[in-house]
């Protein structure tokens, strides 16, 4: 079975913010980071349970560079709702 991945508004804003943070210092790294995040999110289409259970949903660890990113999401029927995307070193 395949699932639909839906990136919620807060997660969309996170992706823009994360890309903007890197783009001034290293545009290539910004593109690579966004590509890595998007590829990881696309992988949830076929394997939505790959993220660890976390709070009310699941959390996917996305390695990148010396740290990486975290995607918080919920599985709702045949949809995967991406709630937030954060850098691992962010205060939250």
Domains identified in the chain, total number = 1
Q: Residue 49 is part of a domain; what is its CATH number? A: 3.30.2310.20
Domain that holds residue 68: 4-87
**Alpha carbon distance 84, 72 (integer Å):** 5
In a domain, 28, yes or no: yes
Confidence at residue 1, expressed as pLDDT on a 0 to 100 scale? 87
In a domain, 92, yes or no: no
In a domain, 69, yes or no: yes
For the sheet with 67-76, list strands across it: 4-7, 79-87, 67-76, 57-64, 52-54
Confidence at residue 90, expressed as pLDDT on a 0 to 100 scale? 85
Per residue in 16-60, pLDDT (tens digit) is 999 998 898 899 999 999 999 999 999 999 999 999 999 999 999
């Amino acid at each position: 079975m395949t699932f639909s991945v839906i990136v919620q508004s807060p997660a969309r804003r996170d992706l823009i913010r994360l890309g903007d943070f890197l783009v001034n210092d290293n545009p290539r790294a910004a593109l690579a980071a966004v590509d890595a995040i998007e590829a990881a999110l696309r992988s949830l289409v076929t394997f939505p349970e790959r993220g660890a259970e976390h709070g009310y949903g699941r959390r996917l660890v996305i390695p990148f560079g010396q740290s990486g990113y975290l995607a918080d999401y919920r599985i709702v029927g045949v949809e995967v709702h991406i709630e937030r995307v954060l850098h691992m070193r962010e205060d939250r």
